[in-house]
């Protein structure tokens, strides 16, 4: 065991403070990574403030962060895929049982015995796991990812959660050339959704509540933008979409989007509104439409996504901050005042 620097919060209302946390010494199969950048995901904020207490109560002190990019500093003797000096990444998962049907299908994100990168029971040290707002992390090789060397690494960090969360459902949903695809909500997730849908060759329509995001949506790769508050604009697109990615985390009218689907079209939700969404059965019945959900992706698919980003030069749009600004960044995140993800420069620690 060794001690590493981190930023932690001691309670749901506490500010982040500089602290130190234990990490295990690398075992034979472990990779030790010096963290260079860590993205700030909205779920970091939910967990720090214990807002998901019913499904995932927060254990304090908490060190969040699951959008990690860094450099390998040490590897165990049985590690074959990484060597010191390599760029490497860690996402939302650091372990799973490897034996259940989900793991065997490469869907570690659905494993009932998974270990999340933070706030999850730590099998090695007891207590809970600590995330990426820290100097270094030690992770089983099976959960470490390769980072294409051409990526802008501060902007690559958010790919590990926001990237795979949007890439996975669109890949599975057949988003490709000739398809009409909508992306609802232009935040951390939505802006990646627009980039991927565009890179997959689809006709991309971005939905937003704020008309002033138009220029940005076009720059990110949207072919059209629809202001969702404008009923006439919405009506023009009725029954025409193959796939809609709904990345809105606040309460909203999901039927307005289901009604935009064509026959057998799918709305996939990747945001997590606190209150249940009211779904009109008729909206689904007419046109055999589907409402689905999706959460991150498996390890192999996450690697596929990173490689795709390397080949297509895709990064998240980030505002780089020093760790000392993390409290302020959380306040701004609540106001959606970031384009489109904060990435913490861990050298500041």
Closer of 162 and 206 to Zn ion (Cβ): 162
Does the footprint of Zn ion cover residue 111 (CB under 5 A)? Answer: yes
Binding segment for Zn ion (CB under 5 A), chosen from 104-112, 118-126, 142-150, 302-310, is 104-112
Residues 83-102 within binding reach of Zn ion (CB under 5 A): 96-97, 100
How far apart CA 155 and CA 163 sit, in angstroms, is 10
Task: Please report whether residue 261 would count as binding Zn ion according to CB under 5 A.
Answer: no
- The answer to whether 55 and 15 are in contact (CB under 8 A) is no
Site for Zn ion in 156-185 (CB under 5 A): 161
Q: Which is nearer to Zn ion, 4 or 117 (CB)?
A: 117
Q: Give, in order, the Cα–Cα distances in Å from 16 to each of 49, 324, 325, 326, 345.
A: 11, 9, 10, 7, 16
Half-sphere exposure of 159 (CA within 13 A, CB side): 31
Classify 98 in phi/psi space as left (phi over 0), alpha (psi -120 to 50) or beta.
left
204 touches Zn ion (CB under 5 A): no
Piece in contact with Zn ion (CB under 5 A), picked from 83-91, 105-113, 121-129, 148-156? 105-113
**Residue 41 touches Zn ion, criterion: CB under 5 A:** yes
Total binding residues toward Zn ion, as defined by CB under 5 A: 8
Nearest-approach distance from CB 160 to Zn ion, in angstroms: 8
| Residue 158 Cβ vs Zn ion, minimum distance, rounded to whole Å | 9
Side-chain-side CA neighbours of residue 128 (13 Å): 17
Q: How far apart are CA 164 and CA 309, in angstroms?
A: 11
The minimum distance between CB 248 and Zn ion, in angstroms, equals 15
In whole angstroms, give the CA distance from residue 121 to residue 84. Answer: 28
Tell me which residues touch Zn ion (CB under 5 A).
41, 43, 96-97, 100, 103, 111, 161
């Amino acid at each position: 065991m060794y001690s590493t620097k981190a930023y932690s919060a001691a309670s749901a209302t506490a500010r982040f403070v500089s602290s130190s946390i234990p990490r295990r010494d690398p075992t034979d199969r472990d990779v030790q990574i010096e963290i260079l950048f860590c993205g700030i995901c909205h779920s970091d904020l939910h967990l720090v403030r214990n807002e998901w207490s019913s499904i995932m109560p927060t254990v304090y002190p908490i060190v969040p962060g699951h959008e990690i990019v860094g450099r390998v500093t040490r590897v165990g003797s049985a590690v074959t895929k990484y060597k010191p000096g390599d760029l490497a990444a860690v996402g939302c998962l650091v372990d799973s049982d490897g034996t259940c049907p989900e793991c065997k299908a490469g869907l570690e994100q659905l494993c009932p015995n998974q270990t999340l990168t933070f706030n999850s029971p730590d099998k090695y040290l007891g207590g809970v796991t600590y995330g990426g707002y820290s100097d270094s992390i030690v992770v089983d090789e099976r959960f470490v990812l390769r980072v294409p060397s051409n990526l802008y690494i501060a902007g690559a960090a958010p790919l590990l959660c926001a990237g795979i969360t949007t890439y996975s459902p669109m890949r599975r949903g057949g988003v490709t050339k000739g398809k009409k695809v909508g992306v609802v909500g232009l935040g951390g997730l939505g802006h990646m959704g627009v980039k991927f849908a565009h890179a997959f060759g689809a006709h991309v329509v971005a939905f937003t509540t704020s008309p002033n995001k138009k220029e940005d949506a076009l720059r990110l790769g949207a072919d059209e933008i629809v202001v969702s508050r404008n009923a006439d604009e919405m009506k023009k697109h009725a029954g025409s979409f193959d796939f809609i990615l709904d990345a809105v985390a606040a309460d909203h009218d999901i039927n307005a989007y289901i009604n935009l689907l064509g026959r057998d079209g799918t709305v996939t939700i990747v945001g997590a509104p606190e209150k249940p969404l009211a779904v009109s059965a008729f909206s689904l019945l007419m046109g055999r439409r589907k409402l689905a959900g999706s959460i991150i992706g498996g390890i192999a698919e996450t690697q596929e996504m990173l490689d795709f980003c390397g080949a297509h030069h895709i990064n998240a749009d980030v505002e780089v901050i020093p760790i000392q600004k993390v409290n302020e960044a959380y306040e701004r995140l609540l106001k959606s005042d970031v384009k489109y993800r904060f990435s913490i420069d861990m050298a500041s620690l």
